[in-house]
């Protein structure tokens, strides 16, 4: 995720209507038919957060330290202790790689799925430069 302070025109610079773009990222789920290639602001941060969580440490060739230990925990027995370890791993990864993101653990949920094949995540967080809390929901399963 890159941070920029550029101002891109919403309609036209002559009309004086501008939208401020703080964060940009390339969409990891891009397809020519259904998705945008470049994501902005909240969508860019959501994309980078999910990429961080789902990337195992050592998986990226030119950034071998990027990622989290969460992909390795997906095969552990779903218990309260495993959930606590996941929260800790998530906090450490976000603190290192996304220092502008602050996760609100009081409102966030990490819970085992009913069939015990993975975990449900609801992450509530705030980002420097973007007003309010943001939430993202996803399932991380085997």
Judge whether 26 and 2 are in contact, CB under 8 Å. Answer: no
Contact present, 49 and 65 (Cβ < 8 Å): no
Domains of the chain: 2-141 (3.10.450.40)
Closest-CA residue to 50 (of 24, 77, 68, 76): 68
Per-residue pLDDT of the chain (142 residues; tens, 9 = 90+): 544 444 444 444 444 555 555 665 666 665 555 666 666 667 777 878 888 888 899 998 898 999 999 888 888 887 888 888 988 999 999 999 988 888 998 999 888 887 777 888 888 998 887 778 888 888 877 6
- Per-residue pLDDT at 56: 92
pLDDT at 14: 47
For residue 79, the model assigns a pLDDT of: 80
Q: What is the pLDDT of residue 57?
A: 93
pLDDT of residue 114: 79
Within 10 A of 88 (CB to CB), how many other CB atoms are there? Answer: 11
DSSP type of residue 32: T
């Amino acid at each position: 995720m890159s941070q920029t302070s550029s101002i891109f025109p919403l309609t036209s610079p002559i009309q004086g209507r501008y939208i401020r773009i703080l964060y940009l990222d390339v969409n990891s789920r891009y397809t020519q038919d259904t998705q945008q290639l470049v994501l902005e602001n909240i969508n860019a941060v959501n994309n980078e957060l999910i990429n961080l969580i789902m990337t195992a440490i050592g998986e990226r060739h030119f950034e071998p330290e990027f990622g989290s230990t969460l992909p390795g925990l997906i095969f552990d027995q779903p218990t309260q202790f495993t959930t606590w370890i996941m929260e800790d791993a998530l906090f450490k990864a976000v603190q290192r790689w996304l220092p502008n993101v602050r996760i609100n653990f009081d409102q966030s949920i990490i819970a085992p799925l009913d069939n015990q094949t993975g975990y449900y995540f609801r992450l509530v967080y705030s980002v420097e430069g973007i007003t309010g809390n943001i939430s993202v929901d996803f399932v991380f399963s085997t």
